[in-house]
Amino acid sequence: MIELKRIAKTGFLNFARGGMVSFAAVLTMTITLSVITSIILLQAVLYSSLEQIKNKVDVTIYFHVGAPEEDIFSLQDFLSRMPEVASVSYTSAEEALRIFRERHASDYATLAALDEIGENPLGGYLNVRAKEISQYENIANFLGGDSVLAKGAESIIDKVDYHQNKLVIDRLNALIGGAQRLGFLITLVLVIISIVVVFNTIRLAIFISKEEIGVMQLVGASRIRVQGPFMVEGVIYGALSTLFTLAIFYPATMWLGERMSGFFGMNIYEYYLSNFFQLGVMILFSGMLLGVVSSFIAVRKYLNK
């Protein structure tokens, strides 16, 4: 414990004596952690936007006029138990007629023709939403085959609009997959660049102390006694950089929150606040790990001489 206290004390003293070099290391790591935080927030915005797009895609099953509701409910129950299906909602023929009238409220010719018919020409329908966009084809294939409701009887299904929307669904599926792959690639590249920059900055800070490292080795100091203070410095760099990063992103996300919510449908400020603890722990761990590992590797270069 005495040795650990000495190492920690020396690390704090080295950080204080470092002056502008220590400040430069903290500033560089703050920029790095800001890049990592930006990536995390942008990924959250991306996945939120993609999720909203996915939620607007569905398959509609239109039924023949006068189809028995018990058969429709039976099909709805069966679909809701399919592993690919996220939700199934039913719109009755009466509700479909009301929606149609509201949608064509300014089209007097259409409403007049509808009144002339004297009866509801529309059937009910089911809106089926899959868990993944790629699963709509399986659902459409099931509906196009011989379902339990169609065996030995006339099918109650008039049409399924999957094939009309297939091109849009396929393109959307490709877009989501491409966006996720591109996001991962950009994240990987930026993180690698940030790590290299931080490593070189910390190595520069340790380069100033290379003579001190040599003297400590000459007087018989152990490797942990030599490396320990620099690793403590790395922890300090990470901790201070985390505080600065979180302080920077609080007003930044507050300013962006309302401005982005209208376009992306997500308030990034609310997301930042609701996940503040998780983000803080993640950034702190990343900063301290980056500082300790960079310091450990950089000092080894002079220990091996």
Tell which phi-psi region holds residue 220, choosing left (phi > 0), alpha (psi between -120 and 50) or beta: left
pTM of the predicted model as reported, rounded to 2 decimal places: 0.64
What stretches of 123-222 show up as alpha helix (H) in DSSP? 136-144, 162-207, 210-218
DSSP 115-126: HHH-S-----EE
| Alpha carbon distance 52, 274 (integer Å) | 20
Mean pLDDT (the chain) is 78
Strand 85-91 versus strand 125-130 pairing type: antiparallel
Strand 59-63 versus strand 85-91 pairing type: unpaired
pLDDT of residue 300: 74
Q: Percent of the chain having pLDDT more than 90? A: 3
Average pLDDT over residues 283-303: 79
Phi, psi of 115 (to 5 degrees): -70, -30
Tokens (6 digits) for 44: 């959250």
Summarize pLDDT for 160-210 with one digit per residue, the tens.
Answer: 777 666 676 677 667 767 776 777 787 777 767 767 776 777 777 677 766
Summarize pLDDT for 18-70 with one digit per residue, the tens.
Answer: 778 778 888 888 888 888 888 888 878 877 777 777 777 778 888 888 888 88
Query: What is the set of domains in the chain, with CATH numbers?
Result: 2-53+180-303 (no CATH), 65-155 (3.30.70)
| Alpha carbon distance 164, 52 (integer Å) | 21
- How confident is residue 243, by pLDDT bands cut at 50, 70 and 90? very high
